[in-house]
Amino acid sequence: MSSLGSTPSQTVGPYLSIGLPWEDGPFVVPDGTQGAVWIRGMVSDGEGAPVPDALVETWQADPSGRFDHPDDPRGRGESGFRGFGRCPTDERGEYGILTLLPGILPSGDGGDQAPHIDVSVFARGMLSRVVTRIYFEDQDNSGDAVLASVPEERRATLVAAKAGDGYRFDVRLQGEGETVFFAV
């Protein structure tokens, strides 16, 4: 089979809000859904300044830990749960995603993965997306191998804190308290 080189990544530039946001993007589940939580946070740069031209995208399992996707080897989840959220930051660098907490997932080695959400952040000034994960402070994260692979002193940057009607998860692109980003 032929092997093709990948197309390179390029920045979204300053005007991504023309093309990428959707009206229902922040709503992984409709407003008013029982048990839904808001995940809110600020994207900030190396000086702590808000990044007003970023886009946060989220991808996650449904509350039973299933994906509506053919490559889930346990069989495709049929919940119709979109699992995908997308929100541009506002002038204060803030984003918000309304979703349901993901379930526990098998890790493949007989263990479990703690509930988590994968995140991509795009912005002007970033030539490629950065990838991180959201964990939740009120869930049992003790057995999660990915979290355990992160230096202990930086682990807290991956854990969303309970706040109001959901959780708070800030993304610091650089500098003090820099979020852990992953190579995927």
Partner 1 sequence: MATPTGLRLPSYRQDPEGTHPPMDFAGYRSTKLRHPTQPLVLLPQMLTEVTGPLLGPGRLGEHDNDLTRQHSGEPQGQRIIVTGRLLDGDGRPIRDSLVEIWQANAGGRYRHTGDRWPSPLDPNFDGLGRALTDADGRYEFTTIKPGAYPWKNHDNAWRPAHIHFSVFGAAFTQRLVTQMYFPDDPLFGQDPIFNSIPDEKARQRMISRFDLERTEEQWALAFQFDIVVRGREQSVFEDEEDEDQ
Rounded-to-integer distance, Cα 184 and Cα 181, Å:
9
Other residues' Cβ atoms within 10 Å of the Cβ of residue 110: 6
Rounded-to-integer distance, Cα 184 and Cα 130, Å:
10
Smallest gap from Cβ 16 to partner 1, in A, equals: 7
Restricting to residues 80-109, which ones interact with partner 1 according to CB under 8 A?
Answer: 82-84, 105-109
Smallest gap from Cβ 61 to partner 1, in A, equals: 7
Report helix, strand or coil for 178.
coil
Q: Which residues pair with 133 in a beta bridge?
A: 118
First-last CA distance in the chain: 24
> Which residue in 50, 63, 96, 120 binds partner 1 (CB under 8 A)?
120
Q: How far is CA 125 from CA 28, 43, 73, 108, 170, in A?
A: 27, 13, 38, 36, 18
AA identity, residue 109: D
Would you say 145 or 161 has its CB closer to partner 1? Answer: 145
Would you say 61 or 100 has its CB closer to partner 1? Answer: 61
Would you say 81 or 167 has its CB closer to partner 1? Answer: 81
145 to 184: interface string for partner 1, x by CB under 8 A: xx--xx---x------------------xxx--xxxxxxx
Restricting to residues 12-71, which ones interact with partner 1 according to CB under 8 A?
Answer: 12-20, 22, 45-47, 49, 51, 53, 57, 59-61, 67-69, 71
Kindly indicate which of the ranges 32-40, 112-120, 135-143, 162-170 contains the residues binding partner 1, using the contact rule CB under 8 A. 112-120
CB 94 within 8 A of CB 50: yes
> Which residue in 42, 133, 159, 166 binds partner 1 (CB under 8 A)?
133
